[in-house]
Structure 1
Amino acid sequence: MNATNPYTLGFFVLLLLSGTACQPKKNALATTGKIAVLWELVTNFTGEKDAFYARFQLTNHSDVNLDDKNWALFFSMAPRPILDNQTEQPARLHHINGDWYVLKPDKNFHLPPGESIDIFYRGVEAVIKETDRPLGLYFVFYDDEGKEQKIENVIEYTWKPFVSPDQINRNEKDEEPIPTAALSYKNNLDMTDLSSAAVKPIIPSPVSLVMDKDSVEVNNAWAIYFEKGLEGEAAYLAAALKEATGLDLKTQSGAPQGKAIRLLQAPLVVNGVAHEAYALNIMANGIDISGSDAAGVFYGIQSLRACIPLKSYASRSGTLRLPKLQVNDAPRFAFRGLHLDVSRNFQTKETILRTLDLLSFYKINRFLFYTTEDEGWRLEIKDLPELTDVGAQRQHTSGKEAPALHPAYGSGPFAKEEGRFGHGYYSRTDFIEILKYATARHIKIIPEVNFPGHARAAIKAMEARYERLMKEGKEDEANEYRLIDPDDKSVYLSAQGYQDNVVCVARESVFHFYEKVVDEIATLYQEAGLTLDEFHTGGDEVPEGAWTKSPMAMALMREHPEIKDPKNLQTYFLRELVKRLKSRNLQLDGWEEVALAKKADGKYEPNPEFVNANVVPYIWNNIFDYPDLGYRLANAGYKVVLCNVSNFYFDLAYSKDPQEPGLYWAGFVDTRHSWTFAPYDMFKTTKKNSLGQKLDLETVKGYEKNKIIVEHLKPQARKNILGLEAQVWCETVKGRDMLEYYVLPKLVGFAESAWAAERSWETVDDKTQREKLIRDGWNVFANSLGKRELPRLHYLNGGYNYRVPPPGAVIENGELKANVEYPGLTIHYTTDGTEPTIASPRYEKPVAVKGPVVLRSFDDAGKGSHRVNVSSE
C-alpha cells in the first residue's frame, strides 16, 4: 500500500552526478574512464502474462577491456521479480534486495574499448513511467582476485522515451486511455468559465458565507486586538499579513480602539459542531474573528487570508482591500490529515516546515510523520546512535547481509553524496522545533514507528550496535535491543522486494526497543511542551512466510499454543504492544492490518479483539479484494480513518503520461479524484479499478471472483469515521520541488472533502442526476483553482511548486482549437517548435495554423504547465 515536475531537467540531475570514487589500487582499472549506459523499455506486450521486455546498452569509452569478471553494474529499479532469459545474453540481471539490482557479465563476456553491447532482460509487471527506469547507476570494478577495487557513478546515462501503445499500456486489459492533447480537449469541453461572483473566495468551502457588494480598506492605521490566550494567533496573523501584503499591524490586548481586527473566543456551534468552529465578519468598521476555541480563531484567520486579492500579493503595497462578508464555519471531520514518508527519500526540516504552513492554510490538522522504514531511520534517538549513524544513510555494501543500508531509490553508492536523497535525519532539536511549529498552527504530529514489518533500517542499525558491543565484550548490552533471530531461515519477499525486513516478535528485546523509542519520542514532546497521546504502529504488509523457520518463533508458539500459526504472530505482536504501552495512555494507530485476522487460506477478516483497546486502523483499501473494508470495520465498532487509495494517495501519478512522475499500482489520482469523495457512501465515487476498468460497487452483490458481498456503512456507525487522510509515499519523490508537485493542487481537493459540509450530490441515488451535480460542482471548484488557488500558491510562503495542468488541443481542418482543465488559466502557443512563454501568442479562439503547434497553459502568476504538441495528423 505504501506502496517532479518531470518537465525540468533539475529532477533528473541526480542521475548525472558522480561522487568521489573509492581510492583504487594502482593497476589498469585506475584508467577505466567512462562506460556509457542506455536503457530502453522494449515492450510490455511480450505474449506472457504481466511480463515486460527491456534492454541495456553498454558502450565502452574507456581504454580497458571489460571481461566476465572485472565489472558489475548496480542500480535501483521499481521492485519486481526478474524472469529467466529466454535467449542467451552476454550479462544477466539479478535482484539483490528491495529495489537493489545488479547486472553481472556471463561467461565469455567481452567489451573492448570503443564498442557497444546490448543486454536484454524480462521482468514481471509493466513498466510505463520514466520514473520506473533504473536509477542511481554505478559500476563496481574488481581486481583479479574478485575483490572490489573501484566504484564509479555512471555519468553517461540515457534512456529512450516511452512513445508506443505497448510501452504506455500495461497489458491488454488496460482500459485507462493514453493521455493526449486531443483527449484532454474532449474532457475539458465540460468546463465553463464562470463569473468572479460564482467563484468561491474560501477553500475549503465554509458552511455559510454571505457576501456584500461593498469592500473595506485595511491599512497600517489598523491594529490587531486579541483576548488573553490568543497571543500566538495574533502574532501569526500579523506576520502573515506583512509577508503577503506589506501591512504592518501592531498587536494589542484589551478593548479595541478604532478600526481593528478583533480576535476573541466565544461559544459557537456551527452545523452541530463546536470544536474548531469560527465566525468571520468583515465590516466597514473592523473585522471580527471569533472561535469556539483557539483553533477556531486560527481557522478564521486562514479564511481571512483566503480573501486577500491576488493583486495585493503581487504589489505588497501596504494596504489591503477586502470584501465585506459574513462566514460561519466548522469542519465536517475532526481528523483531517496528511501522511508524509521521509524514509524512502529524505525531506529537509525546512521542507517539513513549509509543508506544515501549507497544511494549516487549508485547515489540515493532523500530520502523520513517517520517519522509519526499510530504507531509512530519520529521527535521532538518545542512547541509540546507530539508528542515525547507520540507519539514516545508504551506500554500496558487499551484500544485503552487511550491517548497513544498501542503495535504494537512486541514492547511489556513496553515503551523504550531494544531490541524492538517501541520507539525512532530524536531530532531537530539529524534531522539537517541528513539533512547536506544528502546534502553533494547530496541527497535531503523530509519529510512526512501523513494526513488525518495514523495519529493515532499525534491524540493520541494531545489528551494527550488536557487532560493536560484542567486540567490546558486552554481550548482555549487545542483545538489549537486538531485533532478529540470527538463526531464522524463513524465506519471504515483502511487497517492496525485501527478504529481511521483519523483526523477531519472539524476542523480548524487540519490545524493549519499541518501548525505548516510544519513551524517547515522548520525552521530545515533553520538551516541546506537549504530551504524546497518539502513536502510529504501522503494522502493514508483513510478508507471507515470515517467522516460519525461526527457532525463536517456534519456541514461542510452543509456549503459546493458542497462536496456532506463524501468520498469527502479527496479532500477537500488537496484543503485546497494546498491553505494554497501556500505562503510557497512548491511542495506538495502525494501518488496516492491525484490525484484521488472517485466516488459514491467507484471507483477512475483521478481528474484534482490539475494538475497545484504543486501536485506530487507517484504511487504504477501496478497490481491491476488500473494497468495503473501512465500512466493515466501522460497523464492527472500530474508530477508523479513511485513506482511500483511489482518491487520496498523492504519490500515484496524475495521469498515465509516461513523463508524469509517480506510481500507478492502484491507478491514477488527480485533483478531481481527491475532491470527488463521498465519505459515507464511497461506492458512489469509486468508479474504476487500477486498470481503468469500470466498477459498479453501488449495486454489486458479489465482487469479482471472491464473491464478496459489499457492506455499506450503517447509520449508527457514521460516528466511527474519525476523518480522512491523504498519503504521500516517497519512493519516486526526490526533493522539495517534486514533493510539492505531487501534493499540489491535489491537497486543495482533499481539503474540500475533509472540511466542507456534505455536498448535495453525495446523497443523490439517481446516477444521472448525481453525475450532473458532480460535474456542476467540479466546474465551480475548477474555476476556483484556475482563478484563485493556483496563482495564490505562487505567492504563499515564497511560492510552492504546484502543478499547472497542460491544455487540451486539436487541429481540425487547419484550425487550432484549445481549452483548459481549470477555467481562468490562459493558453500560449508557438508554431516554430519553440517553448511557449507568457509572452508568446495567446490563444483566445480557434485560429488557422499550418504545421504542428506547441502549447502551454499559464496561471495569473505566470507559472506554466509542461508543453503539449499537436498536429493535424
Structure 2
Amino acid sequence: MKRLQRSVLALALAGLMSSAWADQELANKLSQFTLNYAVQDNHAQQHGVDCAALGADWAACSKAVITLTNHGDALTDRNWTIWFHSIRQILKVENEQFKVTHIMGDLHKLEPTDKFTGFPANQAVTIPIINEYWQLFITDVLPRWYVTSDDSRPVIIANTDTEDLARFVSPLGEQWRRTPDDKNVLMTAEARYNKNSDVALPDAAALRGEIVPTPKTVTVHAENVDLSRGVVLDLASLSPASREAVASRFAQLGVKTGQGYPVNTLVAPDDFQKPEAVSGAYRLQIKPQETIVTGYDAAGVFYGLQSLLSLLPAQGKPQIATLEASDAPRFSWRAIHLDVGRNFHSKAAVLRLLDQMAAYKLNKFHFHLSDDEGWRLEIPGLPELTETGAKRCHDLTEKRCLLPQLGSGPESNNNGSGYFTRADYIEIVKYAAARHIEVIPEIDMPAHARAAVVSMEARYARLMEAGKAQEANHYRLLDPADTSNTTGVQYYDRTGYLNPCLASSRNFVDKVISEVQLMHKEAGQPLTVWHAGGDEAKNIYLGTGYTDKSHPEEGKGIIDLSKQNKPWEKSPACKKLLERGEVADVEHLSSYFGIEISKLVNAHGISVMQAWQDGLKDAKDASAFSTRQVNVNFWDTLFWGGFDTANDWANKGFRVIVSNPDYLYLDFPYEVNPAESGYYWGTRFSDERKIFSFAPDNLPQNAETSVDRDGNTFSAKSDKSWPGALGLSAQLWSEVVRTDKQMEYMIYPRLIVVAERAWHRAAWEQDYQAGREYKGQETQWVDKKALVSDWARFASLIGHRELAKLDKAGIQYRLPVPGARVEKGILEINTSLPGLAAEYSTDNGKNWLRYDNKARPQVEGEVLIRAVSPDGQRYSRVDSVK
C-alpha cells in the first residue's frame, strides 16, 4: 500500500514539474516575440472616437497599436499574461481576442480572451488600443514588458529590455502635436538653425575674465596669471573638508596644488556693507603676484575660490585674467531637487551632482527620498522600509517588494530598486557640507506615500504573526476599515495615501524625523529644514475634466462619479476627527496633517518646515504652523495663473521658493521633438535659453519672453503686492529618468543656467510692479536686444568653456543637436551653445567630418549632423538636413 502511495505521489510530482516546465517554456517562447508600439493618432476625438464616452479626462484620447510578431511555430495556448508599464490609462482594446487590465500605478496586463485564436507561425498580430490623453515623446512608452504563465518565472520580452526605446517604439512622425492647432515649432535641423541664428559667435578670447555665474561687478585688467606651475593655497579660513574639496576641484581642472602661485583667503565680515553683507558674499583680487579672496563668511571664501576656478580655460595653458570682482548672491536659497523615489540614482551620481552644484554656487540640495514607487533611506528600527519599500519585483502580494513600475520590469537588478544606507546618507551630507551645500531631506506625505504604506503593512503582518499586536499597530499607516474608492494622480489606489487621522501615522513621522536628525548630527550638519511633501492628495477622477454620467457636460470624460471618493472619505478614524470638529472637512485633511507635522518638526528643534504649496493650501496662513518659518515650493505654471497666485503665498507669510514647472522642471524635454525625453504636462520644452530668460522675481514679465504649453502667447499681471522670493529651485523628477546617465542628460547643462538665474539678476530683468501687464508679443517692457546679447555671452561661455569642465568631471550631459540648412548646395551648421564643435556625414554615417564655419562644404542629398563633446568622446543625437 505504501509503495502505491509513493508511486501516486511521484506521478503527481512529475505532473506538477511537467506543468511548471510547460508554463516556463510558454513564457520563454513569448519573450522571443518582437514587440512594436506605434502611436497612430493623437487627435482621436477629432477623428471619430468618442473619447468622452470612454471616460477620458477632458475627452482627450489617442490611438496606438501594439504589434506582436511570432518568429516561430504557431502558439495557441491561452495560459499567458504580458505585463507592461503605461503612464496612460488604456480605455479600450480594439481587438476582441485581447483584453487589458489596469493593476496599480502604471502596471497593466494584457491577456487573451475566450475569442483568442492564437499567434500564427511567422506572422504579426496587431492589437489596437485607445489611450487617455496623448503620446508626444518617445519616453511616453516604457520598456521591459514581460511574460508569465501561471507560476512561471517572469521573462522580459527581449527587444523591450533596453533603454534604447527606438528598438521597439516606432517614430512618432507627424504625431507630435497635442491638438490640431498646436502652435509649437517642431525642432527640425532647419528650425533649430533659425532659432540659433540670432546668437552671435564670439571667440574664446572675448570671454576673458568672464565668471560663471556672473558677479555683481568685475574690473578686468590686461595682464594674465599663468598657473602652469600650480598654486599654493592658504585655506585656513575653511574647514579641513572644504579645503579638500577646493584642492580636488583644482586637480580636476589640471592645476597642481602645493607649489607655484599664491592664493590667500580670509574671512572679514566687517569689510562688507549692505547689501553685500550676506552669507556667500566675497571679493576676489587676482594680481600678478597673488590672489586674495575675502569672504563675508566661509561660504564667501569658498565661492570666491570657485570664481577663480571658473576663469580657467577649458583647454590649453591654465591662464587667468587679473581682475577685481565684488559679488554676493541674489537669492539665499539656490536649490537643485533630485527625485530618487520614482527611480533610484546612485551615490556616485549624487556626489557628482554636489560637486557641480558647488562649482556653480548652488547651496541647497533638496533630496526627494520617498514616493509611491520607492523608499530610499535606511531607517534603523524599520527594516521593511528598505527590505520591501526600496525594491520592485513581480510579487503580486507585495510581501517581498513593491509592484514593478516605470519600466523597471519584473527584476530588482536595475534602478527601480535601491536605497542609501545610513552610512551612505551621512557621507552625502558630509560631502555636501564640505561644499557649503545644505541637504534638505523630503519624505513625501500624506500622498505619494505608497512605498511607506506597503512597507508598514509588511511590518504589521510580521509582528501580528509574532503575536505583537500593539507593536504592529504602532507605525501602521492605513486605516484598515477605510473603504474609500480613490485614485491618485499616478493611478494608485488608497494605498498611495498615508492616513492623516491615525496616531500611528504621527508616530511614524516622528520616528523618521528622529533618525534623519541623528544622521545629520553625526554628519556635522544640523537638520534645520524638514520637507514634508504634501502635494497631490486628491482623487484624479474628481478633477474638473470628468463629468457624471447622469448629467454629462460636453468636452469632459463621462464616468460614474457616485463611485468616487475623496481621499479618506470613508475612513472611520477620519470621520471621528471630523465629528469632533478638529477639521472642517475631508478636503482640509492634507493641510491639517501638515500642521500636525509642523508640531513634530518644531518639537525636534527644527526651525523650518517646507512643503509643496498645495499641501498647505487650506491653512489660513503661515502662522497656523508651529515652526518659526514655513517654506513653500511654488509650482503653479505661469500660463495657468502662477504669475498671480505666487503673490498669495508670499502675502500669507510663507517664504516662496520659485519652482515653476514651465521653466524649472529638468525632467521636461529640452526641445519639441519626439526623440527627446521627459514629461511635458507643464510645457513642451525648457532649453538652456528659455531658462536663462526666466525672471524669477517678477513672474508676470515672463509672458513677454515665453509661450504656453501649446505655443501660444499669453498675458500676465498681478495687482497684488509681491514681497519677493526666498529663492529658486530646479526639480528633476525621475518617472522616466531610470539611469544615472539619463539623470545627467536631463540635468546638465541646464544646471549651469539655473545657477546663473539663482545667483545673478540680469540688467534686462525688471522690478515687479503691481498692475503692470505683460502681453506676449504686444508689449515691449523687456529689453529683448539686451536679453539676446546677454544670452549670446553666456551661451558662448558654456560652449567654449563649461562643457569641457563637465567632460573632466565625467558628467554625461546633453549635447545640443545642431541646427543646419543647405543653401544653394552649401551646408551651414550652428549650435545653441557657440564654441561647441559639430560634425556632418554625407554617406549615412559611415564617415564623419568636422564642420568648419569658415570653409562651408558643398553637399548633395541628405546630410547627417551631430555635435561632438570637447573631449571628442560623446556625440549628440543625430539629425539630418537636405
What's the TM-score, normalizing by structure 1?
A: 0.87
Partners of 2:110 and 2:621 in 1: how far apart?
44
Residue 359 (structure 2) aligns with: 361
Given that 1:787 and 1:859 are in contact with CA atoms closer than 8 Å, whether structure 2 keeps it comes out as no
Shift, 1:291, TM fit? 0.7
> Which stretch shows the higher mean deviation, 204-213 or 811-820?
811-820
1:735 and 2:752 aligned: no
1:792 and 2:805 aligned: yes
Residue 588 (structure 1) aligns with: 609
With over 3 angstroms needed to count, the CA separation of the structure-2 counterparts of 1:213 and 1:859, relative to structure 1, is farther
Shift, 1:346, TM fit? 0.6
Residue 854 (structure 1) aligns with: 864
Residue 8 (structure 1) aligns with: none
Provide, for residues 548-596 of structure 1, a one-character-per-residue CA deviation record: whole Å limited to 9, x for no partner: 111221122112x252321111122122222233221221100011331
Number of matched residues? 799
With over 3 angstroms needed to count, the CA separation of the structure-2 counterparts of 1:632 and 1:813, relative to structure 1, is same
Residue 462 (structure 1) aligns with: 456
Partners of 1:521 and 1:92 in 2: how far apart?
46
Given that 1:31 and 1:64 are in contact with CA atoms closer than 8 Å, whether structure 2 keeps it comes out as no
Residue 780 (structure 2) aligns with: 767
Residue 432 (structure 2) aligns with: 438
Given that 1:808 and 1:818 are in contact with CA atoms closer than 8 Å, whether structure 2 keeps it comes out as yes
Given that 1:92 and 1:105 are in contact with CA atoms closer than 8 Å, whether structure 2 keeps it comes out as yes
Superposed counterparts of 1:822-861, under 5 Å:
822-834=833-845, 837=848, 839-840=849-850, 842-861=852-871
Corresponding residue to 2:633 among 615, 618, 634: 618
With over 3 angstroms needed to count, the CA separation of the structure-2 counterparts of 1:406 and 1:511, relative to structure 1, is same
SS at match of 2:372: coil
SS at match of 1:811: strand
With over 3 angstroms needed to count, the CA separation of the structure-2 counterparts of 1:527 and 1:607, relative to structure 1, is closer
1:556 and 2:550 aligned: no
Residue 244 (structure 1) aligns with: 253
Corresponding residue to 1:352 among 350, 368, 373: 350
Residue 540 (structure 1) aligns with: 535
> Which stretch shows the higher mean deviation, 437-446 or 31-40?
31-40
Residue 482 (structure 2) aligns with: 488
Q: Which runs of 5+ in 1 are unaligned?
A: 1-21, 143-147, 251-257, 599-604, 699-709
Provide, for residues 775-828 of structure 1, a one-character-per-residue CA deviation record: whole Å limited to 9, x for no partner: 121111111121111222112x2x211122122112233333332222222332
With over 3 angstroms needed to count, the CA separation of the structure-2 counterparts of 1:247 and 1:493, relative to structure 1, is same
Partners of 1:94 and 1:425 in 2: how far apart?
30
Provide, for residues 110-164 of structure 1, a one-character-per-residue CA deviation record: whole Å limited to 9, x for no partner: 224444311111011110111111322100112xxxxx33321111344243243
Residue 413 (structure 1) aligns with: 410
Provide, for residues 751-776 of structure 1, a one-character-per-residue CA deviation record: whole Å limited to 9, x for no partner: 11000134334349861652222112
Provide, for residues 329-385 of structure 1, a one-character-per-residue CA deviation record: whole Å limited to 9, x for no partner: 110000000000001111111111111001000000000101111000000000000
Residue 520 (structure 2) aligns with: 525
Residue 15 (structure 1) aligns with: none
With over 3 angstroms needed to count, the CA separation of the structure-2 counterparts of 1:235 and 1:582, relative to structure 1, is closer
With over 3 angstroms needed to count, the CA separation of the structure-2 counterparts of 1:397 and 1:321, relative to structure 1, is same
Given that 1:829 and 1:842 are in contact with CA atoms closer than 8 Å, whether structure 2 keeps it comes out as no
1:302 and 2:306 aligned: yes
Provide, for residues 649-702 of structure 1, a one-character-per-residue CA deviation record: whole Å limited to 9, x for no partner: 00001012111111111111111122112122111114322222211114xxxx
Given that 1:681 and 1:713 are in contact with CA atoms closer than 8 Å, whether structure 2 keeps it comes out as no
With over 3 angstroms needed to count, the CA separation of the structure-2 counterparts of 1:512 and 1:222, relative to structure 1, is closer
SS at match of 2:144: strand
1:691 and 2:688 aligned: no
Given that 1:830 and 1:840 are in contact with CA atoms closer than 8 Å, whether structure 2 keeps it comes out as no
Partners of 2:700 and 2:377 in 1: how far apart?
39
Corresponding residue to 1:152 among 150, 155, 176: 155
Corresponding residue to 2:96 among 89, 94, 99: 89
Residue 422 (structure 1) aligns with: 416
Given that 2:230 and 2:257 are in contact with CA atoms closer than 8 Å, whether structure 1 keeps it comes out as no
CA RMSD of aligned residues (A): 2.4
Residue 283 (structure 2) aligns with: 279
Partners of 2:274 and 2:665 in 1: how far apart?
29
Residue 329 (structure 1) aligns with: 327
Given that 1:206 and 1:330 are in contact with CA atoms closer than 8 Å, whether structure 2 keeps it comes out as yes
With over 3 angstroms needed to count, the CA separation of the structure-2 counterparts of 1:626 and 1:610, relative to structure 1, is farther
Residue 269 (structure 1) aligns with: 272
1:568 and 2:588 aligned: yes
Percent identity for Structure 1 against Structure 2: 32
Given that 2:701 and 2:782 are in contact with CA atoms closer than 8 Å, whether structure 1 keeps it comes out as no
1:290 and 2:294 aligned: yes
SS at match of 1:802: coil
Aligned partner letter, 1:248? T
SS at match of 1:340: strand
Aligned partner letter, 2:193? Y
Given that 2:335 and 2:729 are in contact with CA atoms closer than 8 Å, whether structure 1 keeps it comes out as yes
Given that 1:282 and 1:323 are in contact with CA atoms closer than 8 Å, whether structure 2 keeps it comes out as yes
1:101 and 2:105 aligned: no
1:217 and 2:226 aligned: yes
Q: Which runs of 5+ in 2 are unaligned?
A: 1-15, 52-58, 161-166, 540-565, 769-773
With over 3 angstroms needed to count, the CA separation of the structure-2 counterparts of 1:242 and 1:160, relative to structure 1, is closer
Partners of 2:714 and 2:223 in 1: how far apart?
48
Residue 390 (structure 1) aligns with: 388
Aligned partner letter, 1:535? W
Aligned partner letter, 1:244? L
Residue 550 (structure 2) aligns with: none
With over 3 angstroms needed to count, the CA separation of the structure-2 counterparts of 1:103 and 1:753, relative to structure 1, is same
Aligned partner letter, 2:423? T
Given that 1:403 and 1:461 are in contact with CA atoms closer than 8 Å, whether structure 2 keeps it comes out as no
Aligned partner letter, 1:52? S
Residue 3 (structure 1) aligns with: none
With over 3 angstroms needed to count, the CA separation of the structure-2 counterparts of 1:638 and 1:26, relative to structure 1, is closer
Aligned partner letter, 1:558? E
Given that 1:835 and 1:867 are in contact with CA atoms closer than 8 Å, whether structure 2 keeps it comes out as no
Shift, 1:201, TM fit? 2.3
Given that 1:280 and 1:288 are in contact with CA atoms closer than 8 Å, whether structure 2 keeps it comes out as yes
Shift, 1:726, TM fit? 0.4
Partners of 1:24 and 1:657 in 2: how far apart?
50
> Which stretch shows the higher mean deviation, 688-697 or 477-486?
688-697
SS at match of 2:751: helix
Given that 1:92 and 1:103 are in contact with CA atoms closer than 8 Å, whether structure 2 keeps it comes out as yes
With over 3 angstroms needed to count, the CA separation of the structure-2 counterparts of 1:175 and 1:473, relative to structure 1, is same
Given that 1:24 and 1:150 are in contact with CA atoms closer than 8 Å, whether structure 2 keeps it comes out as no
Given that 1:827 and 1:843 are in contact with CA atoms closer than 8 Å, whether structure 2 keeps it comes out as no
With over 3 angstroms needed to count, the CA separation of the structure-2 counterparts of 1:696 and 1:198, relative to structure 1, is farther
Partners of 1:466 and 1:652 in 2: how far apart?
39
With over 3 angstroms needed to count, the CA separation of the structure-2 counterparts of 1:606 and 1:107, relative to structure 1, is farther
Partners of 2:484 and 2:628 in 1: how far apart?
31
Partners of 1:497 and 1:442 in 2: how far apart?
39
What's the TM-score, normalizing by structure 2?
A: 0.87
Given that 1:265 and 1:290 are in contact with CA atoms closer than 8 Å, whether structure 2 keeps it comes out as yes
> Which stretch shows the higher mean deviation, 519-528 or 671-680?
671-680
Residue 262 (structure 2) aligns with: 260
Shift, 1:290, TM fit? 1.4
SS at match of 1:476: helix
Residue 374 (structure 2) aligns with: 376
Corresponding residue to 2:80 among 57, 61, 71: 71
Shift, 1:867, TM fit? 1.6
SS at match of 1:118: strand
Residue 17 (structure 1) aligns with: none
Shift, 1:89, TM fit? 2.7
Shift, 1:23, TM fit? 9.6
